Structure 1
């Protein structure tokens, strides 16, 4: 029991348990409560010199004692989230081979083609309800990290539990290792993945098909979240499976939902109604197009005709403004290619289009330059600036830059956290457009209802629910998302809405509860030690 992190209580085993379980002498004699253990552990985290050292310390705690790990994280979520996820998780992925201590989750490799079912059979838990899977091709804004991308599924599932109470025993991180085109990484002595170029084409497609089909047999109630796949595969996999299994892509749908929530909240400050907003995106990949699609759906729901709603969304990619005259556009960009003269830069597009909001999902740092921000401020009394690329080093601008270049008038949000900024005597609290506000609650609602599908309607409802939980006090500080300290309340509310949608649309397989609120609350894991003598 001391070597099983899901059972281990460490020094919290009682005298009676130590005697009955044969643990006497294997632990220091003092019996400690969980609170006393936390008092001992928390200074250990804080004393580590760097965020990556803190990350490694917390991973070590998880490898010893899962219950204590989640108690610590839940009690200090605002402090722990930047360590366990963005921005630190990006560095943890880059350093994965160096800091690796104990394997978590499953690795399915290109060499496992034809025997994926055997690999999945090795997982010791049968009641898996939530899987996050990556192939490591587009990790945050860091690019192809191959097998090192495992840090992302691990981190996402940590947030499922910490933010929404999804039982950690029902969570499974998976990396599909098909090689990497990152030559420097592939040749590193510490790299632990397949040392081969990335598998592509029919062989890749066949492996993913085998994987998804094998999952349905091994874990028939599972929800599969695709995470950090390259743009082409992300769109292809979502379109192929979204109407056949319970699945979603957080980069496309989760990012869209949290951004939509932010726009709803920003409308309350800016004075421009959401349905009247004109949006300019920097980046036309899976995140940008996903946001555009959900924004269009939300505008249509508010009475805006479809083509007019699409005309409110403009995109700038690596080759300039997305316009109809371009012949190099991928299929996912074409619905947003409008009649307009070509423009090479974001600044030109801002000056011409005069958007109410700029939304950065480019993974290219510093692209919201001072001239771009100043132009936004000339055209808007309260310009909306959303620099959503992760990690912090990839943000399109910092909070300080956004406020300084707009004379403190920007309504700012970012993907990774920024500290409050004081400008001309006023303190602004940046909002963090973190997908953790969305996907944990959606996942919990899917689990409670045992939903057979995850739909865009669920993500739209999640966005409305999140926006409705932003208070006037939040808005007065410039924050367009609620405090992270409230995230379990947010997740519970979102889960309830998602579960209702599953039942109302005939997608639920679980018996309908008398009280949905009570069913969601009862499903939320609490990290409390059990007694082993009952």
Structure 2
């Protein structure tokens, strides 16, 4: 899918990042569109442009400087930006998303140069449709929206959270080939409770405390209805909302429009995929595993719910499956006798004595897998990791909190405390670790393995809903693409260099479900795999004449 060409000329054409080719405009195009003299005389190929630009990106001293450089490239030449990123995805994924995107959000005001996406504010109640009408592209198929309340593990960043929808949609294109002009990042700016941000001269958002309650709910209702009207084929992805709003919005809209929450469902899918792969290394099938979660918010409960469904598919009852999932929150083990539990935690509250510490819980319950989604760094202490290793020959350690500074433990800590026996994965990337003359390659449980492919499958099928069945299928597909060579290195996810292959495979399975369940709003193609491949954007220049 390609963006429609517009009859622009001269400097106007050069300032359109979708159509601009810079020095790659041919001599004929320069004459036809009034570009003669506005560019250096040499006509360069896209490969020659990359050869010129790539050293400049790599020369930047820090990841945040590389991020700013790449954003500037996107602002002037979208096609060249995506060619560079797709050709070097393993190198630049950590720059454009986790872990660097967290710092980019914190410094959003400093590095802001050109607006991307839409801002819907608390002052727009009653006119959200008018705001959405200002977006110049009609064929929007993928929207990522945040209200900035819970950005990664960094908390309330208000309007600065726009870096997350921008980053997510960059990955939709780079990892799955969703056309850039079909992507729309949106921030719902209802203020922030981050006082330091509100008082900062660089902050560009609403300088009020965060709006909550009935006013907030009414604004979000108006927003979702306006999206359905303005972009009827779009999939709406909720991202980095606070726990209460995240669960409420998902439950309210999941059966009424095409929507999902990546923090809940995407994280669940990539974690389930990792557990299914890890089972090949441990010899313990998922249905026989006990899981301990540190963190009982969106990510943890989302993983638990999807794992339960997969365990049921493997033959357990729902009760048996839930009893294999245990949760620790900031007040200790989630047990039935507690009176302080939020509604979303109660279905995992078991009859058991109160336990205050994670290490004590691990020693008593002997989980096969320890899954960190707490946002609390260093909580997988040497004592906790040693207890995991004492319980099982190959303990599964998944320190999934982002960014890197929030990880529950590092890869080296996990391998060292378990005498090199851990099956380790993390949310942010860690370098390979050599321990006792063996090199271990950590897996990265990055949602980028899941949501781009799911989105592509939804787009190809024009599905009216995104279902948990789709995320379970995505997890199985991901696990099925892990090779024996990956497992031999201790890696339970495929190499990031294969992510477009992964996304394509997931998209095919998701689209199959949409067609099989009567959710598709388009005719089923004779060759679904070919239709998915044909829908994947390739960043090559189009001739304007």
Give yes or no for TM over 0.5.
yes
Deviation at residue 294 of structure 1 after TM alignment: 0.1
For residues 85-164 of structure 1, the aligned pairs below 5 Å read: 85-164=97-176
Match of 1:16 in 2: 28
Q: 2:67 aligns with which of 43, 49, 55?
A: 55
Match of 1:369 in 2: 381
Report SS of the residue matched to 1:176.
strand
Deviation at residue 271 of structure 1 after TM alignment: 1.1
> What do the CA deviations read for 1:228-287 (whole angstroms, capped 9, x no partner)?
000000000000000000000000000000000000000000111111000000000000
Q: 1:279 aligns with which of 277, 291, 296?
A: 291
Report SS of the residue matched to 2:113.
coil
Rounded Cα–Cα distance in structure 1 between residues aligned with 2:139 and 2:283: 48
- May I ask how many residue pairs the two structures share in their alignment? 533
Structure 1 spans left out of the alignment, 5+ residues: none
Rounded Cα–Cα distance in structure 1 between residues aligned with 2:25 and 2:202: 38
Match of 1:384 in 2: 396
Q: 1:185 aligns with which of 188, 194, 197?
A: 197
Rounded Cα–Cα distance in structure 2 between residues aligned with 1:273 and 1:173: 39
Match of 2:408 in 1: 396
Match of 2:542 in 1: 530
Deviation at residue 511 of structure 1 after TM alignment: 1.1
Rounded Cα–Cα distance in structure 1 between residues aligned with 2:92 and 2:195: 33
> What do the CA deviations read for 1:395-451 (whole angstroms, capped 9, x no partner)?
000000000000000000000000000000000000000000000000000000000
Rounded Cα–Cα distance in structure 1 between residues aligned with 2:197 and 2:425: 33
Report SS of the residue matched to 2:347.
helix
Structure 2 spans left out of the alignment, 5+ residues: 1-12
Mapped pair 1:452 → 2:445:
no
Q: 2:218 aligns with which of 206, 216, 228?
A: 206
Rounded Cα–Cα distance in structure 1 between residues aligned with 2:33 and 2:109: 36
Rounded Cα–Cα distance in structure 2 between residues aligned with 1:274 and 1:322: 22
Rounded Cα–Cα distance in structure 1 between residues aligned with 2:313 and 2:419: 35
Rounded Cα–Cα distance in structure 1 between residues aligned with 2:540 and 2:201: 41
Mapped pair 1:417 → 2:429:
yes
Match of 2:41 in 1: 29
Match of 2:327 in 1: 315
Rounded Cα–Cα distance in structure 1 between residues aligned with 2:141 and 2:525: 19
Deviation at residue 360 of structure 1 after TM alignment: 0.2
Deviation at residue 99 of structure 1 after TM alignment: 0.6
Report SS of the residue matched to 1:333.
helix
Rounded Cα–Cα distance in structure 2 between residues aligned with 1:280 and 1:349: 9
Match of 1:434 in 2: 446
Rounded Cα–Cα distance in structure 1 between residues aligned with 2:128 and 2:285: 50
Match of 2:10 in 1: none
Rounded Cα–Cα distance in structure 2 between residues aligned with 1:163 and 1:532: 27
Runs of 4+ in 1 over 2 A off after TM superposition: none
Match of 1:289 in 2: 301
Report SS of the residue matched to 1:126.
coil
Mapped pair 1:301 → 2:307:
no
> What do the CA deviations read for 1:436-495 (whole angstroms, capped 9, x no partner)?
000000000000000000000000000000000000000000000000000000000000
Rounded Cα–Cα distance in structure 2 between residues aligned with 1:273 and 1:23: 63
Report SS of the residue matched to 1:174.
strand
Mapped pair 1:357 → 2:366:
no
> What do the CA deviations read for 1:309-342 (whole angstroms, capped 9, x no partner)?
0000000000000000100000000000001110
In the superposition, the TM-score normalised over structure 2's length comes to: 0.98
Report SS of the residue matched to 1:307.
helix
> What do the CA deviations read for 1:122-153 (whole angstroms, capped 9, x no partner)?
00000000000000000000000000000000
Rounded Cα–Cα distance in structure 1 between residues aligned with 2:437 and 2:522: 54
Rounded Cα–Cα distance in structure 1 between residues aligned with 2:446 and 2:414: 18
Mapped pair 1:494 → 2:528:
no
Mapped pair 1:226 → 2:238:
yes
Q: 1:465 aligns with which of 458, 477, 484?
A: 477
Report SS of the residue matched to 2:257.
coil
Rounded Cα–Cα distance in structure 2 between residues aligned with 1:100 and 1:148: 10
Report SS of the residue matched to 1:103.
coil
Rounded Cα–Cα distance in structure 2 between residues aligned with 1:33 and 1:273: 52
Match of 1:520 in 2: 532
Deviation at residue 389 of structure 1 after TM alignment: 0.2
> What do the CA deviations read for 1:139-175 (whole angstroms, capped 9, x no partner)?
0000000000000000000000000000000000000
Rounded Cα–Cα distance in structure 1 between residues aligned with 2:108 and 2:28: 41
> What do the CA deviations read for 1:91-138 (whole angstroms, capped 9, x no partner)?
000000011000000000000011101100000000000000000000
For residues 191-270 of structure 1, the aligned pairs below 5 Å read: 191-270=203-282
Report SS of the residue matched to 2:14.
coil
Rounded Cα–Cα distance in structure 1 between residues aligned with 2:401 and 2:309: 23
Report SS of the residue matched to 1:336.
coil
